[in-house]
Amino acid sequence: MMAVNAGLKVGTQSNSLNDLKNPERWTWRYQLTFVDNEWHDYDHQKHVDYLAQVADTIGRPKYATVRDMLTKSQAKAAGVKHYTIDQTLRMAEDVAKYADNAILIPKYRKAVEAATDEHVLGYSVTSSYGATPLPAEAFAGHRVHLLGGSWTNQLKYLKLLGEDVVSLDFNQGMKLAGMGQYVLPEGGAAVVKDLGLNVNNVYSVALAITMGHIGMKVWELTGGRTAEAPPPDDDVAIHSPDRPE
């Protein structure tokens, strides 16, 4: 609720919940917008089954990822299975059955070049979880989703890629809130206790300020276009168990 009130949206990861055996918990007031995957232990069928359950239970998400597109050497270094470009594109077709936009996550140039206008390209912002080794300029001209990382780094790519960025997700704000810190609109962080507030719900206060700051900054960068109804393709998803910073 805090996220949506700040002009943001809600995301999750397909392995973050056991399943949707309890539909009552998914009787949400707000639509689930973004579904990521666990790329280190990717199970395509489970990912697609989860998306199908979400679509059937609470409605199609607007964005859903496919396993990262890696070269054989990149896959070996990461300790994950290698999929060819054609295999990944077929996976994207499966995802697109249950999500409005399938997000490819290319980590090398041939994978970027294989994308079509039907796809959104995910750019992994540097974090402990992973990073895209290509320069962001290689993604110019495509619809881009910024995956994880810090708000400071996401701002750099927002300014660099401009209107090519249609969406982004992050959970750094939740991790910082756990330490009593909140994100600043222009990047960096500050401490709630330095505000002189005498509260016992520091996590919630920090998270609310973070969401408000990011919602405000995205509003500023997009000229207020996110205020239109229905909303355009500029979305920020907040979620917790995925793409850690």
Q: What is the pLDDT of residue 231?
A: 41
Who's near 81: CB < 8 A, 6+ residues apart?
A: 42, 75
CA atoms within 13 A on the CB side of 207: 20
In a domain, 125, yes or no: yes
The answer to whether the CB of 196 falls within 8 A of the CB of 164 is: no
Considering Cα of 106, then 108, then 109, then 113, what sign does the dihedral take? Answer: negative
| φ and ψ at residue 9, rounded to 5 degrees | -130, -175
In a domain, 64, yes or no: yes
In a domain, 118, yes or no: yes
Name residues of the chain where pLDDT drops below 50. Answer: 226-233, 240-245
Q: What is the pLDDT of residue 236?
A: 62
Number of separate domains in the chain: 1
In a domain, 158, yes or no: yes
Q: What is the CATH number of the domain that holds 31?
A: 3.20.20.70
In a domain, 146, yes or no: yes
In a domain, 213, yes or no: no
In a domain, 25, yes or no: yes
pTM, two decimal places: 0.86
CA atoms within 13 A on the CB side of 181: 11
Q: What is the pLDDT of residue 226?
A: 45
Label residue 210 exposed, middle or buried (CB < 10 Å: 0-12, 13-18, 19+): buried
Q: Which range of residues forms the domain containing residue 161?
A: 2-170
In a domain, 228, yes or no: no
